Structure 1
Amino acid sequence: METISVTKFDVAERQLLQAIHMFFREDDIISTHTVAEAANQVLSDIGQEYQVKSFLRDSDFIREDKKKLWLKEIFKSRNFFKHADRDKTDIHEFKSLFNEFSLIDGVTMYSVIKKTWVPETLLFQVWFSAKHPDLLLDDSDFKKQILSGFEDRRLISPDDMKTWYEMLISMRSGSYHFDAVSLEYGI
């Protein structure tokens, strides 16, 4: 019987990286969301120690009197997937787009806590910027530093998930290397 010792960060890291793999493999979108949101909750909780804020959970742009409503909407899918105490017969409309924003939130918190990129987080950031180029600030550090190593990202369609996943596997195996990317787990 195998036993392993893990920290809360270790758990969140495993969940987030697995959710990114699931996303690129186009596995079940509900399972991907559930795993990503589990990671995000832990990252949000331990992130307080690192002065890390979730831009979805802790947004400074939401009025204080609307924060409860905002969080209810943000967590609607997550809560529907986890609980059945009040809504056993309800039907929930889930959009796969929710996973993109859940994962980018987790990747952002994770990267600040870890203080480095891993293949999964870097590649998801690059994919997200290719999918949503209009959301990135033109003069952001991310766009200047990281994307410069992925000039050919525009040649890979954000919809070509098979190629993105193959690139992820190549990076994780160490055969496609970037100086700013670590293959190590943990903090």
Structure 2
Amino acid sequence: MDILHIARQQLLTAIQLFFDNSDPVSVHTLAGAASEILSDLCEQAGEQPFHSAVIASNPRIDQNRYFKARNLYRNAFKHVGRTKDEKTRNDVARNQFSDMQNDLLLFTCVEDYLRLVKRSPAEFQAMHLWFIAAYPDRLKTPKLEASSLNLLNNLHEIEREKQKEIGHILIKEFKNNPNLMNDPRTEY
């Protein structure tokens, strides 16, 4: 099986679980695996992965610090720890984890997929827009209010469960939109 297909399937499943508000640990584990694959594939293809853009734009973050933060929870979910310090660090990380840790990880996976493939499934497009709407101060992007996606207006101001319901609705709307589904930038 092709490694890009594996990452795509991991990410599709993670996004589905995420918007189902189901099993945030599995979401993080799947997205973490996809993230590593997609980042490596971007580098191999000569595309700048998302993490490289973040590091380049923020001199306070080096690659080791970025990866340590990115992998904190994923490693805590995979490893008990061999030393007392590792066990303690992993226990602390597991106890501090919340589903909100998945938001940025899923977004970075989608970003890397888009950088690599230049097209994506409706689920990835919905996740991408959902993140931008949920975190309007994190990214320099055009205002979504100017778009026809009224569903996303003020997403950042509503409760989390409703935000995720809107993510599901967005995916359904995208899949029922023939213009979007027939666009060459949309994968099936």
Deviations 1:58-108 (A, max 9, x none): 622455994323322221111111122424465222132221110111000
CA distance in 2, matches of 1:117, 1:10: 12
> Which of 35-44 and 57-66 deviates more?
57-66
Count of residue pairs brought into register by the alignment:
172
CA distance in 2 between counterparts of 1:162 and 1:65 reads: 34
Q: Which residue of 1 aligns with 2:129?
A: 126
Query: Aligned pair 1:71/2:43, yes or no?
Result: no
8 Å CA contact 2:107, 2:131 repeated in 1? yes
| Structure 2 length-normalised TM | 0.77
What is aligned with 1:148? Answer: 147
Which one has the bigger helix percentage? Answer: 2
Structure 1 residue runs of 5 or longer lacking an equivalent are 1-5
Which structure's relative contact order is higher, taking Cα pairs within 8 Å and 6+ residues apart? 1
1:163 deviates by 3.5
What amino acid does structure 1 have at the position aligned with 2:14? A
Q: Distance in 1 between matches of 2:10 and 2:81?
A: 25
3-state SS of 1:134 partner = coil
What corresponds to 1:52 in structure 2?
Answer: 47
Whether contact under 8 Å (1:9, 1:42) holds in the other structure is yes
Check the 8 A contact 1:33/1:99 in 2, yes or no: yes
Other-structure match for 2:113? 110
Tell me, in whole angstroms, the C-alpha distance in 2 between the residues paired with 1:115 and 1:65: 27
What TM-score does the superposition give when structure 1 sets the normalisation length?
0.77
CA contact (8 A) 2:120 2:186 kept: yes
